[in-house]
Structure 1
Amino acid sequence: MIEPGLTGGRLDGIGVYTRALLRHLPRTGCTVLPYSWPRPRMGKSASGEGISIGQPMPQSFEKASLVDLATPGAHRVHMPADLFHVTDYRIVRMDCPVVATLHDALPIKYPEWCNPRLRSVKNWLQRKATAKADHVIALSYFAIDELVECFDVNPQRVSVVYCGVDDEWLEPADLEAVAATLAEYKLNPGYFLTVGTLQPRKNVGRLLDAWLMLPKALRDERALVVVGARGWRCEELVARLQAAQGQGENVVWLDKVTDAQALRHLYAGAGVFAFPSLYEGFGIPVVEAFASRVPVVASNASSLPEVTQGAALDVDPLDTALLAEALHTLATNNAERARCIAAGRARAEQLTWHATARQTAEVYRTVLSQ
């Protein structure tokens, strides 16, 4: 395994995925030994410095990549494992089969939506690294075409395994605990909720525009709650959120929600969940909302229709008026709310982390049998 993206205790999507596999793979009969890439240290060998999960790899990814580039086809990292699963893009040649989960082709397909720091170098390394995987796991069928286009992945060595939620999300949250969490954040139940790191592709700016188009009485009754840490290229959005708050609008931005139970309670307290993302390899928050029995407005772009399968109101994420109409519908139309809640719940029951782990273990066994 590769260490998940940990930033100040906050898990990103890759981190959530990795943590789920670490928890659920042992139930499938797999013995899991977690490893993490250590930070590079100039002039020194790799150490466990900065490692929060598992054991450190023999060397940093940067060093392993440079050595591999210098001796292509010859250098292989020794690992005491039958198979190594890379849960992000940092792939090197190893002396055992390598399975790599490629979450999306976003950095190459849409670099303008990504962190610009060393982007061209990172993209080049990712293209090189991807060729070193013996088998690839994609999180949606949508992703396959882009992985083939951007990484030149052979579609014959790609398996699709969906993400999911933990079983506990399918159980009703404790009402007293939910009330306590909402009181802590000074929230009244029934708000419009969105969850995700603040970055351009999450499209939160248009969501704010759509919410501001709703009748004032509805906005006063149902806040817009944005849960997400600062990402990249989010300065304008942060300024807009803060300006709306300063103008007395019922907007709440929670940028430091790191506790998993608190996040679950925030979903449970929502009246409508909105996920107007422009691009997703999968979209875990949609399934979390489904499991929490919250009706969902989702983008009809990228992988999201594949995830929702009609259980959400799917709208064009570039059409602010349609987005506002969908928000209004799920806030006021009880019949449509009930339909989306029931359909979302049924969809969430199909998408559990246990199912993800079981299908991932099947991929391992197929690779090892070849």
Structure 2
Amino acid sequence: MGATPRLRVGLSTTTVEPVLTGGRLDGIGVYSRALLDHLPGAGCEVLPLSFAPPGDAGRLTVGRALPLSFPLATLGDLILPAGVHLHASGAMGKDAPPLDLFHATDYRIVRMDCPVVATLHDALPISHPEWCNPKMRRLKNWLQVKAARKAQHVITGSRYSIRELVECFGVDERRISVVHHGVGAEWFDAPAPEARDATLAQYQLQPGYFLFVGTLQPRKNIARLLDAYLALPPVLRSARQLVIVGAPGWRSEELVDRIKAAQQRGENVVWLDKLTDHGQLRHLYAGAGAFVFPSLYEGFGLPLVEAFASGVPVASSNATSLPEVAQGAALEFDPLSVPEMTAAMTSIARDDALRQRLVAAGHRRALELTWDEAARRTAAVYHDVLSH
């Protein structure tokens, strides 16, 4: 038997285009970038394609622009006959071979001239509307429901998300595959001590701090994390800073005020709201004494795996997909219980044997969750879709 032919895959890179994101990658951007980097090693010829606002097509730096902007392509879905498709292959030039498949990595999905695989990360706007911006909620609900119906197959990041996609979007469970997200090989290599120390010095951090990484928004539960930290014994707070890394998001004004008030009182709280350097983020993980992830809702929870790979002991919420991702490698707590969170932080700071067990378990779990493995599993989904 001959080798499996390389697939020509159009990959959505809208979420990684600097002209569209301002250079800041959210979780979907990290996912899209990882597939772009790792799918070629899984037997795919990857062609990055992006929706672009009118007038911005020439400024794209990661991929080529699709023939229409997303609003125009979506409008076409509404007013044009069902047989009319967006010619994604045409974006690669008139003489380029056609695409075998297009992979949309977020909700921006329209009818294409090839099969479409869509990654739907969660059903948050429908399952928990209280945690979403109401200005965008109805639009995102409508777009995601349409997306789920247009795609030949849906990928999601956890088994937990399957139930929500079935219940909220009406996706046939037989058309859903779970592909866990991952981390790159660089996360397993400790950064050079000099570089790590320079980053910590730049932000006035002392090694051994409690670290959180994520956008400031209600579902991330950072207000309770702050409460839990402030409930620690004073000697522990003086020895270990609380370092919050993340940009302000929707409904974060009160939390920002609380963080600034704690800082003004002399509490050992640091907020880094503009960090975009990937290398510096690795340095911050490497300098942490514990990673604390109190989220109320995650479709996957990538920072958990980044902490595992970085050799940091993890205390994590036991909600939604997080126990599935951790597989026992984190010290779990009820995210609605501040006392439980405080107890977990105290244990992880004071119990050397516990920390060693968590670091070892986290390393083993991270080795199972690499982007190379995610790319292989994603390519297997492509082949399965094209064989039916």
Same fold judged by TM-score > 0.5? yes
1:51-130 correspondence to structure 2 within 5 Å: 51-71=60-80, 73-80=82-89, 81-130=99-148
In structure 2, the residue matched to 1:4 is: 15
After superposing the two structures, state which structure 1 stretch, 17-26 or 111-120, moved more: 111-120
1:193-212 correspondence to structure 2 within 5 Å: 193-212=211-230
- Mapped to 2, the partners of 1:324 and 1:90 lie a distance apart of 40
Q: Is the 8 A contact 1:164 1:351 kept in 2?
A: yes
In structure 1, the residue matched to 2:8 is: none
After superposing the two structures, state which structure 1 stretch, 112-121 or 161-170, moved more: 112-121
Deviation at 1:115, TM superposition (A): 2.2
Query: Aligned match of 2:38 in 13, 24, 32?
Result: 24
Q: Is the 8 A contact 2:216 2:250 kept in 1?
A: yes
- Mapped to 2, the partners of 1:143 and 1:355 lie a distance apart of 20
For residue 349 of structure 1, what is the amino acid of its counterpart? L
The answer to whether residue 165 in structure 2 is matched with residue 151 in structure 1 is no
In structure 2, the residue matched to 1:37 is: 51
Q: What percentage of aligned pairs have identical amino acids?
A: 61
In structure 2, the residue matched to 1:283 is: 301
After superposing the two structures, state which structure 1 stretch, 167-176 or 336-345, moved more: 167-176
The answer to whether residue 243 in structure 2 is matched with residue 218 in structure 1 is no
Q: Deviations over 1:201-228 (max 9, x none)?
A: 0000000000000011110110000000
- Mapped to 1, the partners of 2:186 and 2:337 lie a distance apart of 35
Deviation at 1:96, TM superposition (A): 0.3
Q: Is the 8 A contact 2:107 2:143 kept in 1?
A: no
- Mapped to 2, the partners of 1:95 and 1:167 lie a distance apart of 35
Corresponding residue SS for 1:317? coil
For residue 82 of structure 2, what is the amino acid of its counterpart? G
For residue 378 of structure 2, what is the amino acid of its counterpart? T
Task: Name structure 1 gaps, 5 residues minimum.
Answer: none
Query: Aligned match of 2:253 in 235, 240, 265?
Result: 235
What TM-score comes out, normalization by structure 1 length? Answer: 0.96
Corresponding residue SS for 1:351? coil
Deviation at 1:47, TM superposition (A): 5.2
**Aligned residues between the structures:** 365
In structure 2, the residue matched to 1:136 is: 154
In structure 1, the residue matched to 2:321 is: 303
Corresponding residue SS for 1:33? strand
- Mapped to 1, the partners of 2:84 and 2:143 lie a distance apart of 16
For residue 216 of structure 2, what is the amino acid of its counterpart? L
1:257-296 correspondence to structure 2 within 5 Å: 257-296=275-314
What TM-score comes out, normalization by structure 2 length? Answer: 0.92
Q: Is the 8 A contact 1:102 1:138 kept in 2?
A: yes
Q: Is the 8 A contact 1:68 1:74 kept in 2?
A: no
Deviation at 1:72, TM superposition (A): 5.0
After superposing the two structures, state which structure 1 stretch, 172-181 or 140-149, moved more: 172-181
Deviation at 1:53, TM superposition (A): 2.2
- Mapped to 2, the partners of 1:126 and 1:211 lie a distance apart of 37
Q: Is the 8 A contact 1:245 1:252 kept in 2?
A: yes
- Mapped to 2, the partners of 1:173 and 1:332 lie a distance apart of 25
- Mapped to 2, the partners of 1:303 and 1:340 lie a distance apart of 19
Query: Aligned match of 2:352 in 321, 330, 334?
Result: 334
Task: Name structure 2 gaps, 5 residues minimum.
Answer: 1-10, 90-98
